[in-house]
Amino acid sequence: MKNTNAIADGLFASHPVLVPIRPEFDKAFDILCTTYRTGKKVLLCGNGGSFSDSAHFAGELMKSFVKKRPLPDALSKKLSAGGELSKRMAEKLEMPLRAIPLFGNDTLTTAYMNDVDAELIFAQMLLGLGDPGDTLVGLSTSGNAKNVIAAMELARAMDIRVIGITGRDGGAFKALSDACIIAPESETFRIQEFHLPIYHTLALMIEEEFF
């Protein structure tokens, strides 16, 4: 039996100030589960500390977090029948939940920002990597990061669902997100201190749901 509710309960018991965000948190969890159940993927973006958080969240989804994620039997058997390297992969590879941070190609990033429009860099990456039915997770402590907002606008046009993780009053993210998780703080570093347990708990719940 899945224990996703108990995992969520743990977050809100340890951080009572977050209780008012539970409806949006639960909505974000449902969106992420639908994304993975339908064979789609999650794309993430943010700036500064939120840039790091988007990579961190993706990392927890792309490999084992707390549970074992064995390969499907058919793939494991094919690898086990091979040489030493294949056998090692059969033993050690972990099933991912596909998550792609929208950065990492410095050539594309610097070329597009220099030649075209720096504000649209995440939108350009989303255009190249996103598909209808995917989900975009945008992180910003203010909810007003212009390059993330541009990606959210494009996501809506591409039939990609949008989750915002932010703080303060939610900023522009509130109107652009299918679910907007707003940490109840105004200081940037305090908002980020809430973002970590929020996305860690989402990662734990998603892993519990699928593995």
Full pLDDT tens readout for the chain, 211 residues: 589 999 999 999 999 999 999 999 999 999 999 999 999 999 999 999 999 999 999 999 999 999 999 999 999 999 999 999 999 999 999 999 999 999 888 999 999 999 999 999 999 999 999 999 999 999 999 999 999 999 999 999 999 999 999 999 999 999 999 999 999 999 999 999 999 999 999 999 999 999 9
Domains of the chain, start order: 4-68+96-210 (3.40.50.10490)
Q: What is the pLDDT of residue 73?
A: 97
Asked if residue 37 lies in contact with residue 183, where contact means CB atoms within 8 angstroms, the answer is no
The C-alpha atoms of residue 101 and residue 136 are separated, in whole angstroms, by: 10
Neighbour tally for 106: CB within 10 Å? 8
Q: What is the pLDDT of residue 105?
A: 87
Q: What is the pLDDT of residue 2?
A: 82
The C-alpha atoms of residue 12 and residue 15 are separated, in whole angstroms, by: 5
The C-alpha atoms of residue 102 and residue 148 are separated, in whole angstroms, by: 10
Q: What is the pLDDT of residue 1?
A: 57
Task: Read off the pTM.
Answer: 0.96
The C-alpha atoms of residue 133 and residue 130 are separated, in whole angstroms, by: 9
Alpha helices in the chain (DSSP H): 4-14, 22-37, 49-62, 73-80, 84-92, 106-112, 121-129, 146-157, 173-176, 188-210
The C-alpha atoms of residue 61 and residue 27 are separated, in whole angstroms, by: 18
